[in-house]
Structure 1
Amino acid sequence: MTQVYPSREDPVVRGLSESIGGPMGEHGTRHRWWTPTRVLLLLTAVVFSLGLIQKAPCSVVEGQDQNWTYSHMCYTDLRPLYIPRGLAEHAWPYTDDAETRDRYEVMEYPVGISYWAWGTSWVAHWLNGSPDLAERYRLPVDELWGLPEMSREVNLFVLINAVGFGALALLSTWLLAGTHRGRPWDAAAFALSPALLLTGLINWDLIAVALVAGALWAWSRDRPLLTGILIGLGTAAKLYPLFLLGAVLVICLRRRRWRALAVTIGAAAISWLAVNLPAYLSGPEEWKVFWSFNADRAADLGSLWLLVDQAGDVGFSAHTINLWSWILFGAWCLGVFLVGMFAPEEPRFAQLGFLIVVGFLLVNKVYSPQYVLWLLPLAVMARPRWRDQIVWQACEVFYFCTVWWYLGSYLAPAGGGDAGFYWLGIVIRVIGQLYLVGIIVRDIYRPAHDPVKASTVAEVEAGPERGRVPEPSA
């Protein structure tokens, strides 16, 4: 398999390479140790380390007001949830113990995230000297923040999670580098992503991101069973990996691979059930909180619903948003299905997956800043071109800035009223997403514009004497 070099293929990289000697030559050789994958892993480590530095000011936020956190754009959910969700007492997230439930709110996340948070809280307790939890239980919850050892323990909790997130980011890069055989550098847009730097530590979303990257890798290796397992595990951490089954459906219908379709769906269902079963058996009402929490949620940050609600003073109810968001998402999925079924060539898994997930985000009632991570592995595999990645991620970074300025009231007009600049941030983010949607749909209907398929065609035309063989659609 001949490797594709972005300095030859990608116009942006080719232009930048002129400052260091130009594109890779025909007789250029690779370094024995610094393989593309190792370079990409190093770049991921550097970017993620910069993300740690960017979030560091919020580790010394004690004594500062909440706006200070927003002004430094270093907010993370991990710190404020540690005590209110019972992690300081290492309470099982799905216990139905009445006293525990009176003291603490139930984790409002899917079980995969709750398990991870519970496990890392145990490690934080151990590293902090295994404090006496019975003594903590005798105190009011609000007083736990004032315990002398608590500040260190919360910092340990954040750092332990950060190490785990870093490992997930490295794993994601490794998987993405192997998804398109002969095109490891496609993963560079993930490794060097400003979105990864800025949002990787806000919440536990990288758990699902790594599992989605694994599903992309597994499908490219024609492993439907493993693909289904990874999609099921991802859905147990965040809902959106479930939508990748729509991409599997289109591809299997076009290939008439009924067994692969059944295996993938069945494996996804079984793995999701297996992970959810312990939580449901130990506390069915607590397990349901994630679903009821999202159902009762009104228009929230980043959504077009919030923009229309504020700009038009509409006052959408949660029921209205739930109904219409699912209607619109269903219509969007139907459109993606038709695009996939009537395309001149079979679309790639990442292309269809991106189109479905971005549709969900466009009509969803909330777009938290870290939700950009949901799209990241799909986007870089669906459209591995730096120009388009820069355009899209620049729009996401602009939104990232405006949401914190909005929460800190830095965009509030001096005379009062709504923050129109935040509405602009939402619109620009949506424009960036729709731009990438348009480019990917064009690639699907005009495959010559798709970098991955174009490089595959070039290898086939070059002939087998150069050791080039076509790869399965990924």
Structure 2
Amino acid sequence: MSIQPTAGTDDAGTGDHPSRSDGFVRGASELIGGPLGDHAVALDRPADRESRFWTAARIVLALACLTLALHWVQKSPCQDGAWQNNIQYTRMCYTDVLALYYAEGLNEGKVPYRDHPVEYPVLTGYFMGALGLPVHALGVDNPEINQGQWAYNANALVLSALAVATVAVILALRRRRPWDAALFALAPALFLTATVNWDLLAVGLAAFGFLAWARSRPALAGVLLGLAGAAKMWPLFVLGPILVLALRANRIRAGLTAVGTALVALVAVNLPAAVPYRDNWDRFFELNTTRPIDWGTLWYIGRYLDGKVNTGGPGSMGPFEWLNANIPTLNWLSYALFGLACLGVAVLALRAPKRPRLAQLAFLVVAAFLIFSKVWSQQFVLWLLPLVVLARPKWGAFIAWQVAEIGYFAAFYGELLGSATSRPVFPEGVFVLAATLRLGTVALLCVLVVKEILHPERDAVRDTYADDPDGGVLDGAPDAPWVDRWRRRPEPSEPAAVPAPTAA
């Protein structure tokens, strides 16, 4: 179903300007003269694109490139690998991309999985090898080059290209709202964590999966999400919302097609490593099942509180400390809470007054996974960035969340430096406070998204689009007949008539 542009817009342009439509930006714009005027030139209309180079989309893409360039500068003190005097912590420039070039044996020419176990899903391992092994080969012929620095820069270049591609996908999905993509392009979290690990590989592939689904190509969407899930597990969680929404719209065949092709892609990518090198391939799953409570998680906050309120004397344990000592129970509790959250999202999707948008449900599911997970690494914020931009493109709560992420980033490196030097950098509890604020702002975003699902008239995207621009075959589709019957509550019975009092 094609959606006609709203008044004053065209399909490639936008009637939405943040200084007019977003309350936070409108208030902030008063500092520089107020919202965009009625007679201002809109750089994103076709006539203006013919005469002006700097359209809204190009400005946003340029901003993304600037953010990534600044990120590269921020990581530059660590690029030579000579991490003396804990410079990787004092400059907050640590990156797994460089550290694991040596730890995974790539500097010695070891092939991931064949020669060395890898702690990441297979597509990330293949990616590491595809960029790291050529650098090793180059270093053999040119011993004067710094292999680690070359490997980092090669990875940074490709990962940055994937980040820019993700911005381009957001622009393609929001042609009438191009400034939404500026949330991603200017995000402090992107500046701080873009190349801490290889998460942008999964982010980029998942973004293209979203685009394929929006273009009504469920098979391709499934393949791309399956490949993204072979790089990091979280994109596979998007398949749940796709299935639930397809069920509500009576488009279950498209949903099953996406799930089926995703599983085929996932298995096809894993088989070359899983069959001949099972022990090395299994390292990712082994670490996930045996890993204790990690820094900054809900469970970590609980352990800290255990230490503050536990008065049982030496040897006694609070509940969270007990969970840390009983990891199988911790695993099952984490899975159960995440499963209950997914069930709640499914019920919300089926009971909501209007079918939710795919990005809204995808954000809720991935956020729930992070909230209840026993591991929440600093760069996992990149998972949520494109989802929150597509789900709730409003600046106020987004900025609050990003401020919390900045605080967590600084506190995290303070903890790392304190552990390395045995001298605390911050007072006790500062890191826990930072972790609590991060968790709290993500939970707040979840609450706001749920409110907009229950009150679709508050949804900024629905102000511009009739239904769901990411919905693909679901966009504009009516609900299945059983949905109304299931959602309809029985009418309350008429109250029994009260007999009139009789005279005594």
- Taking structure 2 as the reference length, the TM-score comes to 0.81
2:176 corresponds to which letter in structure 1? G
The residue aligned with 1:305 is 299
Higher mean C-alpha deviation, range 22-31 or range 249-258: 22-31
**Displacement, 1:8?**
2.2
- 8 A contact 2:111–2:133 mirrored in 1: no
1:237 pairs, out of 223, 231, 241, with 231
Q: CA 1:265 to 1:417, structure 2 compared with 1: closer, same or farther past 3 Å?
A: same
1:429 corresponds to which letter in structure 2? R
The residue aligned with 2:41 is 28
Q: Matched residues in 1 for 2:39 and 2:425: separation?
A: 63
Q: Matched residues in 2 for 1:417 and 1:225: separation?
A: 51
Q: Secondary structure at the match of 1:344?
A: coil
Q: CA 1:61 to 1:416, structure 2 compared with 1: closer, same or farther past 3 Å?
A: closer
Q: Aligned-residue CA RMSD in angstroms? A: 2.5
C-alpha deviations, 1:48-83, integer Å up to 9, x for none? 0011111111125626133x3212111101222112
Q: Matched residues in 1 for 2:404 and 2:424: separation?
A: 28
Q: Matched residues in 1 for 2:80 and 2:24: separation?
A: 40
- 8 A contact 2:414–2:426 mirrored in 1: no
Q: Matched residues in 1 for 2:160 and 2:423: separation?
A: 41
Alignment of 1:398-417 (within 5 A): 398-409=407-418
1:281 to 2:267 alignment = no
**Displacement, 1:309?**
2.4
The count of aligned residue pairs is 436
The residue aligned with 2:76 is 56
- 8 A contact 2:415–2:424 mirrored in 1: no
The residue aligned with 1:356 is 365
- 8 A contact 2:297–2:435 mirrored in 1: yes
2:93 corresponds to which letter in structure 1? C
2:132 pairs, out of 111, 121, 124, with 121
- 8 A contact 1:77–1:202 mirrored in 2: yes
Q: Matched residues in 2 for 1:57 and 1:24: separation?
A: 44
1:206 corresponds to which letter in structure 2? L
**Displacement, 1:427?**
0.7
Q: Matched residues in 2 for 1:441 and 1:164: separation?
A: 35
1:344 pairs, out of 329, 347, 353, with 353
1:206 to 2:200 alignment = yes
**Displacement, 1:10?**
1.7
1:156 to 2:150 alignment = yes
- 8 A contact 1:87–1:121 mirrored in 2: yes
C-alpha deviations, 1:420-464, integer Å up to 9, x for none? 111111111111001101110000000111000122359xxxxxx
C-alpha deviations, 1:107-144, integer Å up to 9, x for none? 1000111011101113323544646xxxxxxxxxxxxx
1:322 to 2:341 alignment = no
Q: Matched residues in 2 for 1:121 and 1:415: separation?
A: 36
Q: Matched residues in 1 for 2:275 and 2:257: separation?
A: 26
Q: Secondary structure at the match of 2:299?
A: helix
Alignment of 1:171-320 (within 5 A): 171-313=165-307, 314-315=321-322, 316=324, 317-320=326-329
- 8 A contact 2:68–2:160 mirrored in 1: yes
Q: Matched residues in 2 for 1:183 and 1:416: separation?
A: 43
The residue aligned with 1:78 is 97
**Displacement, 1:338?**
1.0
The residue aligned with 2:163 is 169
Q: Matched residues in 1 for 2:377 and 2:388: separation?
A: 18
- 8 A contact 2:342–2:365 mirrored in 1: yes
Q: Matched residues in 1 for 2:355 and 2:211: separation?
A: 18
- 8 A contact 2:219–2:261 mirrored in 1: yes
1:110 to 2:121 alignment = yes
Q: Secondary structure at the match of 1:178?
A: helix
The residue aligned with 1:41 is 61
- 8 A contact 2:26–2:34 mirrored in 1: no
Q: Secondary structure at the match of 1:51?
A: helix
Question: Who wins on radius of gyration, i.e. which is larger?
Answer: 2
**Displacement, 1:94?**
1.4
**Displacement, 1:411?**
12
Q: Matched residues in 1 for 2:337 and 2:251: separation?
A: 29
Alignment of 1:453-468 (within 5 A): 453-457=462-466
**Displacement, 1:308?**
1.7
Q: CA 1:285 to 1:64, structure 2 compared with 1: closer, same or farther past 3 Å?
A: same
**Displacement, 1:212?**
1.9
- 8 A contact 1:215–1:230 mirrored in 2: yes
Q: What percent identity do the matched residue pairs reach?
A: 39
1:82 corresponds to which letter in structure 2? Y
The residue aligned with 1:436 is 445
- 8 A contact 1:395–1:428 mirrored in 2: yes
The residue aligned with 1:450 is 459
2:36 corresponds to which letter in structure 1? P
1:256 corresponds to which letter in structure 2? N
1:69 to 2:72 alignment = no
Alignment of 1:352-431 (within 5 A): 352-409=361-418, 419-431=428-440
**Displacement, 1:306?**
1.8
**Displacement, 1:153?**
0.8
**Displacement, 1:189?**
0.2
- Taking structure 1 as the reference length, the TM-score comes to 0.86
2:20 corresponds to which letter in structure 1? R
C-alpha deviations, 1:337-394, integer Å up to 9, x for none? 1111100001011100000001000111111100000111001110001112101111
Q: Secondary structure at the match of 1:282?
A: coil
The residue aligned with 2:485 is none
Q: Matched residues in 2 for 1:235 and 1:261: separation?
A: 17
- 8 A contact 1:411–1:422 mirrored in 2: no
**Displacement, 1:473?**
6.8
Q: CA 1:418 to 1:333, structure 2 compared with 1: closer, same or farther past 3 Å?
A: farther
Q: Matched residues in 1 for 2:37 and 2:267: separation?
A: 49
Q: CA 1:194 to 1:12, structure 2 compared with 1: closer, same or farther past 3 Å?
A: same
Q: Secondary structure at the match of 2:436?
A: helix
Q: Secondary structure at the match of 2:174?
A: coil
Q: Secondary structure at the match of 1:202?
A: coil
Q: Matched residues in 1 for 2:425 and 2:185: separation?
A: 42
